[in-house]
Homo-oligomer: A and B are copies of this chain.
């Protein structure tokens, strides 16, 4: 049973980075998942138009009907599933989607299985809610993919929900259909829910198989407009769940936030009419990721090449005792900020590079990383 009370290390490093920056140092940020891409003009304009049209009042906690309808069509087209607007709840980014899912399913002292590496805030949220979790650590040798044997170890642990993130942050690995079905079979066997964070769905470079496609009624899938549309700061995402669970999630949304501002929901609806925005953002982020991947390989870093998302999760190079010390050196000597692996489920020997910065910045960062490694 893992317990981490602290803020993940990558948040601490981000803070040091901000402090250095304030002091005038030319910090390059490769530690955050916030694409350096400006939002599309039509999406921004829709905020204003909708506000002037009167979408400035309290609304349905589930989200406005046209958005939920469009989202269900969007998923049905994309994944060949059979989702209706009754399955959808519009949330404050995927973060509140995950949180509301935890709150809808779990009670104090319930047990969760995390398949890691995994986004660091899951653990902090669970700790904060007093929910216990097991940490199934996959490894690079297995391509960051669990085996049935790995899963079986937890079959008598009274697991209420399994939390997965696919495409994965930080590894950028995309599990194949067999893995997704295997995890779902295991969940069925132990009668556990699956909370599937699939926010990087649009960045998969291989055919993507969603947990929604397994037709397992105990899946809550979590999505977001943040990454696909460069709308991180709009704070809008959504969950897909059984009607019963969606009702509970909406009850919680009404209780704690009322609803996502309707003008933001209409901006998101506008975004869904602009599929080329996703194409363009994908092109930009893939090209940044490709450059980062190629350069890190040339520098001798060992990792699985990104298949989805825009992160490189790699072993710390020789000469450093662990990820945190490499991150600290890179930040304090070379002003490049990256994330240590500790925050992603305890991967002390790993570090995460994020290709969200502009190509120009990534190029400069690579030069600095090269200097640090060659100088060591």
Which chain B residue lies CB-closest to A45? B48
Interface residues of A in 170-192 (CB under 8 A from B): none
Cβ-defined partner of A56 (8 Å) among B32, B96, B231, B262: B231
Assuming A108-B108, A233-B263, is B51 touching A121 (CB within 8 A)? no
**A308 in contact (CB, < 8 A):** no
* B-contact 0/1 string along A123-144, CB 8 Å cutoff: 0110010100000000000000
The answer to whether A32 touches B48, judged by C-beta atoms less than 8 angstroms apart, is no
Interface size class, chain A: 35 or more
The answer to whether B255 touches A128, judged by C-beta atoms less than 8 angstroms apart, is yes
Cβ-defined partner of A39 (8 Å) among B41, B51, B255, B260: B51
Which chain B residue lies CB-closest to A38? B54
**A63 in contact (CB, < 8 A):** no
The answer to whether B234 touches A257, judged by C-beta atoms less than 8 angstroms apart, is no
User: Complex: how many Å from CA A11 to CA B258?
Assistant: 12
User: Complex: how many Å from CA A51 to CA B54?
Assistant: 19
Query: Residues of B contacting A256 with CB < 8 Å?
Result: 92, 95-96, 99, 125
The answer to whether A234 touches B258, judged by C-beta atoms less than 8 angstroms apart, is no
Which A residues are within 8 Å of any B CB, using their own CB?
7, 11, 32, 34, 38-39, 41, 43-45, 47-48, 51-52, 54-59, 92-93, 95-96, 99, 108, 121, 124-125, 128, 130, 230-235, 251-252, 254-264
